[in-house]
Amino acid sequence: MPSLRETLSRSALSPADVDWLHRLVGDWQMVADLSFADLTLWLPVQLDDVEDPHLSPWFLAAHARPTTGPNFYHDDVIGRPPEDDRHRWLTQVFETGRSVTPDGLTQVREQYVPVVRRGRTIAVLIRHTDLQNMRQQGGLEVNYLQISQQLFAMIAEGAFPTEGSATGVGRGTPRVGDGVVRLTADGLIDYASPNAVSALRRLGHTDQVNGADLSEIVTARFVEGSTVDETVPLVLTGRAPWGTEIETDGMNMTLRAVPLMRGGVRVGALLLLRDVSEIRRRERELLSKDATIREIHHRVKNNLQTVAALLRLQSRRLDDPAARDALAEAGRRLSTVALVHDTLSQGFSERVDFDEVATRILRATVEVASTRTVVGTELRGTFGRLLAEDATHVAMILAELVHNAVEHGFEEGPPGEQDVPTPRVVVEARRRPEGEGGKEVVEVTVTDNGIGLPTGPSATPERTGLGTQIVEALIGDLRGEISWDAAKPHGTVVRFVVRLRSAAG
């Protein structure tokens, strides 16, 4: 189905006219719901080889279905050309700028409304009412239809949508089904739908609704000393086409006002209102839970750093070099895990921007490695965002491999050759999908230009060290593989692949 932007590109409308139609379509769901009918928007195609612009064909640019009643069009109709009779009515309404309701139709009632902007007709809107499946006419239906006819008249006058209006109130913007109130020009309630009456009852108003002053009903429930948005009085009286939210003791309500105009004079207003207390309560709970999770990660990071510091202090009091090195290694590994929790504590997501973590691991590992030469590091490619559990595993693997490359690759300084490049460890990461179901793998290469792998009978790397055992265990947990190879002209290349866990898993 083509988008509205694509369909509007077929017309010769100015950018201001296109913006007007975009705002009309953005607001016309409310009109469709009030009129219990499908709405279609028709535009003339401007062809260069047609001298008479009234002979230009028409095309259907947009379509809206009501949520308050049966749909007339069940299939996608955007892009369809008009039938001969419809072409005639479209052309007539476009030329005259007057609404028309043709007679003689048996299964549908169609109302043709010119879409006017600044005195010019730029499109035609058709209201399609299914006569065979119409709702039974009651008080709600009669009032909704009356309001919709006022809106259609405003569209034909160029008074709807309103230029420069900001009607959205974020999550919880009211809709027709949430509650409809019609106000007089003086701000008194002329009609309130059952859902609107229920919302006002929950607000605390127990008296008669019709004839009451809406602004008095609402402002009487404000908590003393609370801050009231400056838009509230204008919305409650229907004098401005804005949206707002009010909060009373135990209730949140969003409101949206649409002034009803006739001949440039405000004759009343349409207000949509919605009780969003439950939505706001859930939002507050989510914010509280997010803040709690962030605080937990922050405390875990602090505890890990404290334990790492205690291990370093203890290692300095030992005379046994092997024991001292073991405690120092344990402290370094705890610091690596703390990096992941530190990153998690700074955001609301349980996913980690691992490129930032990898950069910090490279810097920290080189700083603490016991080597006589200065080793540079470089990160290429991207890890992307990883789940917290995956991030902890990959961080440990990366820290062990980089630490091993720095300490053992350059433990005797740079290789004894002339014009040897600067000692360097390069980490390159590539993330790619694997199979179906959104599964992904990360391929990582850790390359150094150090002394390289042992030669001769012991060419295979020693696999009995604690660091190597940790790496292989973590890679196995991520269903991955790892390999060691010699780099040219000297150095070591370690390649590993890990399979990420899905968010659902």
CATH number of the structural domain spanning residue 75:
3.30.450.280
> Which two tokens mark 373?
């030469």
Contact (Cβ atoms closer than 8 angstroms) between residue 133 and residue 66: no
Among the residue ranges 42-51, 279-288, 322-331, 392-401, the one predicted with the least confidence is: 42-51
Instruction: Give the three-state DSSP class for 504.
Output: coil
Predicted confidence at residue 112, as pLDDT, reads 96
Q: Count up the domains in the chain and report the number.
A: 3
pLDDT tens digits along 129-144: 988 887 778 889 999 9
In terms of domains, do 28 and 86 share one? yes
Higher local confidence (pLDDT), 321 or 379 = 379
Predicted confidence at residue 211, as pLDDT, reads 92
In terms of domains, do 136 and 182 share one? no
Which residue, 233, 257, 275, sits at the end of a domain?
Answer: 275
In terms of domains, do 244 and 139 share one? no
Residues 6 or more apart in contact with residue 500 via CB below 8 angstroms: 386, 387, 390, 439, 440, 441, 442, 478
In a domain, 363, yes or no: no
Predicted confidence at residue 35, as pLDDT, reads 94
In a domain, 304, yes or no: no
CATH number of the structural domain spanning residue 237:
3.30.450.20
In a domain, 497, yes or no: yes
Averaged pLDDT, 225-243? 82
Averaged pLDDT, 94-118? 90
pLDDT tens digits along 256-286: 999 999 999 999 999 999 988 888 888 777 7
In terms of domains, do 30 and 135 share one? yes
In a domain, 252, yes or no: yes
Domain range for 26: 4-157
pLDDT tens digits along 420-472: 567 888 999 999 888 766 688 899 999 988 877 665 544 444 555 777 888 88
In a domain, 12, yes or no: yes
205 pLDDT more than 90: no
Predicted confidence at residue 484, as pLDDT, reads 86
In terms of domains, do 206 and 255 share one? yes
Among the residue ranges 189-198, 402-411, 414-423, 467-476, the one predicted with the least confidence is: 414-423
In terms of domains, do 425 and 483 share one? yes
Range from 20-34, 236-250, 351-365, 444-458 that averages highest in pLDDT: 20-34
In a domain, 505, yes or no: yes
Please report, for residues 407, 485, 498, the alpha-carbon distance to residue 399 in angstroms, rounded to integers and kept in the order given. 12, 19, 15
In a domain, 150, yes or no: yes
In terms of domains, do 153 and 18 share one? yes
In terms of domains, do 152 and 180 share one? no
In terms of domains, do 184 and 153 share one? no
Query: pLDDT exceeding 90 applies to what percent of the chain?
Result: 30
In a domain, 105, yes or no: yes
Predicted confidence at residue 504, as pLDDT, reads 44
Which residue, 236, 254, 275, sits at the end of a domain?
Answer: 275
Range from 23-32, 170-179, 296-305, 353-362 that averages highest in pLDDT: 23-32
Predicted confidence at residue 421, as pLDDT, reads 67
Which residue, 130, 157, 184, sits at the end of a domain?
Answer: 157
9 pLDDT more than 90: no
Residues 6 or more apart in contact with residue 281 via CB below 8 angstroms: none
In terms of domains, do 9 and 151 share one? yes
Amino acid at 30: M
Per DSSP (E only), the strands in 131-282 are: 180-184, 189-192, 243-248, 251-262, 265-275
CATH number of the structural domain spanning residue 432:
3.30.565.10
Task: Indicate the average pLDDT of the chain.
Answer: 83
Query: What own/partner pairs with CB < 8 Å and gap ≥ 24 does 199-208 have?
Result: 199/253, 199/273, 199/274, 199/275, 202/251, 202/275, 203/248, 203/251, 203/253, 204/248
3-state secondary structure 208-244: CCCCCEHHHHHHCCCCCCCCCCCCHHHHHCCCCCCEE
Give dist(CA 251, CA 344) in Å, integer: 34
In terms of domains, do 138 and 28 share one? yes
In terms of domains, do 141 and 220 share one? no
Give dist(CA 254, CA 17) in Å, integer: 30
What's the full length of the chain, in residues?
A: 505
